[in-house]
Structure 1
């Protein structure tokens, strides 16, 4: 079972990649301008920094759950829902003339979140199959 076998590396790598968003909490001006080619506006500093620390901590807990199995189910569920919403925001704005220009700067985020959501679905499907098979052997 591929997804189950590689869950720990997936959680560590996915967590580290997600944790990278903490840059927005500590260096928001650089992150917005150099990573997203967006203008920095101090009026939104609190929300940018909040988003950065929130997503950065999500990444930390994803990676940490690789080593604390009792955290995995709740962390994976929360991570999936948070990332699925980001995928929704990205795709729902892809064809909007007002926001489509932004999408090119968020491609790395979208790819990361789509990959993590897809892997999570694969892992859950394997877990479902394992439980179903073990119930049939009883």
Structure 2
């Protein structure tokens, strides 16, 4: 059942999550616009933006490149294993940071990053279910991500 599911969804998953992840390039190209319109930073939060602008831009490039890599791996199967592992790891780090900043630090402003949290949470769930499939699959067949 899972094998068929991943056979049918793998390319769409890689293209869809790749495209959405690549939108992080907006934070590199237009950091001020992104922080205000995508992550809902208010004027007070933007007051010292020059101190953090390079950090946000760096994040935008790194995450944007992961998105491009995810989209490339939809076509180039040999990239899929490493890309999926790296993507799941990077996204799990963000989910952890999001939960920590919301639950422990109680930073209500961090809710502006809820869209990123939702996408990254989806990637983690998909990756964990895929890991379960991969470990329990029929080893005589080529794994779904390489088909």
Q: Which has the higher contact order (CA 8 A, sep 6+)?
A: 2
Structure 1 unpaired stretches of 5+: none
Q: TM-score, normalised by structure 1?
A: 0.89
Quick check: 1:113 aligned with 2:116? no
**One of 1, 4, 7 as aligned partner of 2:7:** 4
Aligned pairs for 1:46-85 within 5 A: 46-85=54-93
Deviation at 1:3, TM superposition (A): 2.5
Partner Cα distance (1:43, 1:94) in 2: 23
Give yes or no for contact 2:40–2:112 (8 Å, CA) kept in 1: yes
Deviation at 1:25, TM superposition (A): 0.3
Deviation at 1:127, TM superposition (A): 2.0
Structure 2 unpaired stretches of 5+: 142-147
Change (3 A) 1:3 1:102: farther
**How many residues in Structure 1 have an aligned counterpart in Structure 2?**
133
State the superposition RMSD in angstroms.
1.6
C-alpha deviations, 1:117-138, integer Å up to 9, x for none? Answer: 1111112222222245x39xxx
Give yes or no for contact 1:4–1:127 (8 Å, CA) kept in 2: no
Deviation at 1:6, TM superposition (A): 0.9
**One of 117, 120, 130 as aligned partner of 1:123:** 130
Q: TM-score, normalised by structure 2?
A: 0.83
Give yes or no for contact 2:102–2:111 (8 Å, CA) kept in 1: no
Partner Cα distance (2:133, 2:96) in 1: 24
Partner Cα distance (1:82, 1:105) in 2: 19
